[in-house]
């Protein structure tokens, strides 16, 4: 599995923690920035990660900002993206199983680091269940 990851300055610390975590699970990670703590604009990073997911050069994407809200709004503007902002593990696995979410969004200023890593673990490992859920995803598209 290959995952593209990005954050703005508000999600910068969690981005590096999540990269380390994914690498420890032998998951290939592409870091699309930001690369410093300097203030930057989250829509640019969201678009970079979303584009990689849509063109299928990666399997999934992860975006982190202060709240996760800006990243999720921006990513969901890209056709084919189903970005899920999750602050709990139930929503994380349900977003994969029911919604076939292809980008996970997290808020570094909202949830603790251990919960963020738990959410990443659950989300990466959950599978889309198809069936009636496929019909609904098709309706979105
Ligand atoms: C940056 O201050 C902050 O607005 C951003 O990280 C994010 O929370 C936006 O939704």
Question: What does the pLDDT look like over 7-55, one tens digit per residue?
Answer: 999 999 999 999 999 999 999 999 999 999 999 999 999 999 999 999 9
Which residue segments constitute the domains of the chain, with CATH numbers given? 2-140 (3.40.1400.10)
CA distances from 68 to 10, 11, 28 (A): 9, 8, 23
Planar angle of CA 77, 81, 84, nearest 5 degrees: 95
Residues 84, 8: Cα–Cα separation, whole Å: 17
**Residues 6+ positions from 62 with CB-CB distance below 8 Å:** 3, 4, 5, 6, 18, 49, 103, 104, 105, 106, 120
Catalytic residues: 65, 98
Q: How far is the CA of 25 from the centre of ligand 1 (A)?
A: 29
Give pTM, 2 decimals: 0.98
Q: Which residues line ligand 1 (CB under 6 A)?
A: 8, 10, 42, 65-67, 69-70
Q: Whose CA is nearest to atom 3 of ligand 1?
A: 66
Which residue is closest in CA terms to ligand 1's atom 8? 66
Considering all CA atoms of the chain, what is the largest pairwise distance in Å, rounded to the nearest integer?
Answer: 45
Rounded Cα gap, residues 123 and 83, in angstroms:
12
| pLDDT tens-digit series, residues 84-121 | 999 999 999 999 999 999 999 999 999 999 999 999 99
d(CA 44, ligand 1 centre) in Å = 13
Cα of 9 vs centre of ligand 1, distance in Å, is 8
* Atom number in ligand 1 closest to CA 10: 6
């Amino acid at each position: 599995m290959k995952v593209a990851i990005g954050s703005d300055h508000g999600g910068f610390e969690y981005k590096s923690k999540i990269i380390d975590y994914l690498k420890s699970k032998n998951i290939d990670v592409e870091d699309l920035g930001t690369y410093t703590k300097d203030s930057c604009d989250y829509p640019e990073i969201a678009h970079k990660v979303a584009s990689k997911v849509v063109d299928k050069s990666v399997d999934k994407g992860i975006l982190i900002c202060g709240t996760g809200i800006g990243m999720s709004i921006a990513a969901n503007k890209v056709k084919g993206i189903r970005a899920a902002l999750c602050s709990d593990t139930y929503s994380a696995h349900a977003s994969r199983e029911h919604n076939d979410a292809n980008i996970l969004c997290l808020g570094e200023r909202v949830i603790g680091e251990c919960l963020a890593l738990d959410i990443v673990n659950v989300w990466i490992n959950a599978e889309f269940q198809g069936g009636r859920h496929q019909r609904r995803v098709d309706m979105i598209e």
